[in-house]
Amino acid sequence: MKRSRNAGIRPLRSRSASSLSPIGKLERLLEYSRKNFAERHLDDLLPEMASQTRILLDADRCSIFILDKSRKVLWSRIAHGTKATLTIPLTKGIAAETVKTGRVQNIRDAYRDPRFNRDVDRDTGYRTRTILSAPMKNLQGEVLGVFQVLNKRGTISFGPEDEKILAVITGQAAVAVENAQLYDQVREAVSDTILRLSAAAECKDRDTGRHILRMSRVSAVIAEALDCPKTFSDNILLASPMHDIGKLGVSDAILSKPGRLTEEEIREMRKHTIYGGRILKGSSNEIIQMSERIALCHHEKFDGSGYPRGLAGKEIPLEARITALADVFDALTNRRAYKDAYSLDESLKMIRDGAGSHFDPKVVDAFFSRLDDILACSGPDSAEVSAEPYPAGIMDPV
């Protein structure tokens, strides 16, 4: 069973808010706040916020809209009652009015308000009666989006107390959205830096450029299949491209040599794991730390016959065990300077045969459990098949 990524957020009981005292509602908001600030992923946080807001305000539905300034639209990150993404222009509708004024809009009869956009009801088949709409603002007072609840239950419309509660919730939501956006920006910057550093190896090894993109995606899919935490899967996507960064320390003549390497050249090539570990050593950043472990250990083998340290089993970091399989699979299915691409059937057989010796059997099982997704994100550069027998050491992409 796949682990819930918002396991740290315990849903509030779906008891009607109308039965709660003011103190009871305050207690719920405080509990809610503590749990929300611990969650960094909007995909987990916002659905929970929407559901609990609907409970607290005795509303039928809740929607959370994010502002896209460049396109001048609001788009629904969450919209109860529909799986479709709703896109609303900033020229009409109560949500657009909320952005324009920067103030709460409490609409007691939607169809009698000329600002109400009936298009959404027509498209979804819903009948909106009452609306409470509040802007999500960052610390600079800029509107990031809109939090909207529809159709108050049991009473004619939303009241002043509902407005105050929604104001508190939108304040939390705005902080969460802004923090998540900043977090994403930092990760994008880290990702860009990693890819640029990894691509530096492409200047020396022509196989590396597209390879690092393919194998990083495969690594992330395998991590998901192993039910790793989302943070781990996200990090391995960024960290695995650095697995061969140590090739910057290897001679151009060896990297670009067509055909087989001599024993001496193989020994030198294998030092790229040590070089990579040295390059990445000492960082306080968790992604670079993972990159260091991958660079140093991605040629270790599950039975202890790998290099550079001869680690075995769980002595090898999980991220390195995952990257090892992704690296080999991509090397097999794509042309390299020393070989043509192998067929998919041949490659898969070699992966299966390597379970327990080269690869962690659990990682192999995870690989095959998501094979369709892996094939979709690892399209080979060449469909050519080598007619030669498997050369010795082909499972060791140096």
Tell me the CATH number at 130.
3.30.450.40
60: CB partners within 8 A, 6+ apart:
54, 80, 150, 151, 152, 153
What local confidence, expressed as pLDDT, does residue 44 receive? 73
What local confidence, expressed as pLDDT, does residue 365 receive? 98
CB-CB neighbours of 247 under 10 Å: 26
Which residue range is the domain that position 360 belongs to? 204-377
**Which residue pairs, CB below 8 angstroms and at least 24 apart, start in 353-357?**
354/328, 354/395, 356/302, 356/303, 357/301, 357/302, 357/303, 357/305
The DSSP-derived string for 312-370 is -GGGS-HHHHHHHHHHHHHHHHS-BTTBPPPPHHHHHHHHHHTBTTTB-HHHHHHHHHT
Q: Are residues 150 and 237 in the same domain?
A: no
CB-CB neighbours of 56 under 10 Å: 23
Is 187 part of any domain?
no
DSSP label at residue 71 = T
Is 385 part of any domain?
no
> Torsions phi, psi of 385, nearest 5?
-120, 130
Is 56 part of any domain?
yes
Is 87 part of any domain?
yes
> Structure tokens of 350?
């070699």
Indicate the number of domains in the chain. Answer: 2
Per-residue pLDDT of the chain (398 residues; tens, 9 = 90+): 343 343 333 333 444 555 555 555 556 655 655 555 555 567 777 888 888 888 888 899 999 999 998 899 998 888 888 888 888 899 989 999 999 999 999 999 999 999 998 988 888 889 999 999 999 998 888 899 999 999 998 777 899 989 988 888 888 788 877 777 777 777 777 777 776 676 665 555 555 567 788 899 999 999 999 999 998 999 999 999 899 889 888 888 888 887 788 999 999 999 999 999 998 898 888 888 999 999 999 999 999 999 999 999 999 999 999 999 999 999 899 876 566 788 999 999 999 999 999 999 999 999 999 999 999 987 644 333 332 333 334 455 55
What local confidence, expressed as pLDDT, does residue 31 receive? 61
CATH code, domain carrying 303: 1.10.3210.10
- H-helix or E-strand spanning residue 146: strand 143-152
For the entire predicted model, the pTM comes to 0.60
What local confidence, expressed as pLDDT, does residue 11 receive? 39
The C-alpha atoms of residue 61 and residue 42 are separated, in whole angstroms, by: 19
Q: Are residues 157 and 284 in the same domain?
A: no
Q: Are residues 363 and 306 in the same domain?
A: yes
**Which residue pairs, CB below 8 angstroms and at least 24 apart, start in 19-28?**
22/161, 25/56, 25/165, 28/52, 28/56
3-state helix, strand, coil in the chain (%, to 5): 55, 10, 35
State yes or no: is 247 an active-site residue.
yes
The C-alpha atoms of residue 296 and residue 287 are separated, in whole angstroms, by: 14
Is 283 part of any domain?
yes
**Alpha-carbon dihedral 330, 333, 338, 339, rounded to 10 degrees:** 170
* Cis preceding-peptide flag for 114 (omega within 30 of 0): no
Cα 60-65-69 angle, rounded to 5 deg: 160
Q: Are residues 220 and 356 in the same domain?
A: yes
Q: How far is CA 5 from the centre of its chain?
A: 11
Report yes or no: 153 and 132 within 8 Å, Cβ to Cβ: no
Is 198 part of any domain?
no
Q: Are residues 177 and 211 in the same domain?
A: no
Which entry of 35, 152, 247, 339 is annotated as an active-site residue? 247
The C-alpha atoms of residue 251 and residue 88 are separated, in whole angstroms, by: 57
What local confidence, expressed as pLDDT, does residue 205 receive? 53
What local confidence, expressed as pLDDT, does residue 383 receive? 33
